[in-house]
Chains A and B, each alone.
Chain A
Amino acid sequence: AQSVTQPDIHITVSEGASLELRCNYSYGATPYLFWYVQSPGQGLQLLLKYFSGDTLVQGIKGFEAEFKRSQSSFNLRKPSVHWSDAAEYFCAVRAKQSSYKLIFGSGTRLLVRP
């Protein structure tokens, strides 16, 4: 079955430290990959997406993600976290042959220590 796994429910980092949020997917072929961020009580904002080509993709707010086909992973990174980055982060995948079906991971809540 198709699935997305975000193994970390919570992550706490100090402000200014680096961040990596993990995402693994299970799919028959390489899907389209997305990272979204959600602040409390708000909708989801797209951070970045991967469709093809360069496996390191840049997004908004200084985030980047690296697609690793051999590991079925699409981990999100940021070199220096700001307090405003505290939020919930969702990884999502979409099959290339399906225009509607987004499958979401269960999310990782990021806490930032001052």
Chain B
Amino acid sequence: DGGITQSPKYLFRKEGQNVTLSCEQNLNHDAMYWYRQDPGQGLRLIYYSQIVNDFQKGDIAEGYSVSREKKESFPLTVTSAQKNPTAFYLCASRKNEGVQPQHFGDGTRLSIL
């Protein structure tokens, strides 16, 4: 079955450490997205990529970085510059056709040790 796979499901980060969250999709979708979810705040866009080798900052990109070397993959790195990284991170993708909706993975919960 096609879908979006995020790994790991739980991740712990030490102070000053960079960590990378994986997002892989086999839906042949063109665009991919990273959101951060905090309690009571809904979802906020971190980065998005419309096509391979191109990505754009979202609303809260500071302290994060991404790459899009393959159509299927859009990893997110949470750097040590992100001072409050504890959150639930969601990856999404969509086909760049008309009114196609975004589809979501099951998320990664990142916590600080």
Q: Is B45 an interface residue (CB 8 A)?
A: yes
Q: Is B69 an interface residue (CB 8 A)?
A: no
Q: Tell me the bound Cα distance from A9 to B39 in angstroms.
A: 11
Q: Is B48 an interface residue (CB 8 A)?
A: yes
Which chain B residue has the least Cβ–Cβ distance from A91? B42
Q: Mark A77-114, 1 if CB is under 8 A from B, else 0.
A: 00000000000001000000001111011110000000
Q: Is A11 an interface residue (CB 8 A)?
A: no
Q: Is the CB of B106 within 8 A of A42?
A: yes
Q: Is B50 an interface residue (CB 8 A)?
A: yes
Q: Describe B's contact surface by its main secondary structure.
A: strand
Which chain B residue has the least Cβ–Cβ distance from A44? B104
Instruction: State which of B42, B56, B96, B109 has its C-beta within 8 Å of the C-beta of A90.
Output: B42
Q: Is B40 an interface residue (CB 8 A)?
A: yes
Q: Tell me the bound Cα distance from A22 to B96 in angstroms.
A: 29
Q: Tell me the bound Cα distance from A100 to B48 in angstroms.
A: 8
Q: Tell me the bound Cα distance from A100 to B50 in angstroms.
A: 8
Q: Is B71 an interface residue (CB 8 A)?
A: no
Q: Mark A41-53, 1 if CB is under 8 A from B, else 0.
A: 1111110010100
Instruction: State which of A36, A43, A46 has its C-beta within 8 Å of the C-beta of B105.
Output: A43
Q: Is the CB of A42 within 8 A of B107?
A: yes
B56 to chain A, nearest CB (A): 8
Q: Is A63 an interface residue (CB 8 A)?
A: no
Q: Is B82 an interface residue (CB 8 A)?
A: no
Q: Tell me the bound Cα distance from A4 to B6 in angstroms.
A: 27
Q: Is the CB of A99 within 8 A of B31?
A: yes
Please name 11 pairs of A and B residues whose Cβ atoms are closer than 8 Å in the assembled complex, sorted by A: A41-B106, A41-B107, A43-B106, A44-B104, A90-B43, A99-B50, A100-B33, A101-B45, A102-B102, A105-B42, A107-B40
Binding site for B on A (CB under 8 A): 4, 9, 32, 34, 36, 41-46, 49, 51, 90, 99-102, 104-107
Ranked nearest first, the 7 interchain pairs of A and B with the lowest CB-CB distance are A43-B104, A104-B42, A44-B104, A106-B42, A43-B106, A104-B43, A51-B99
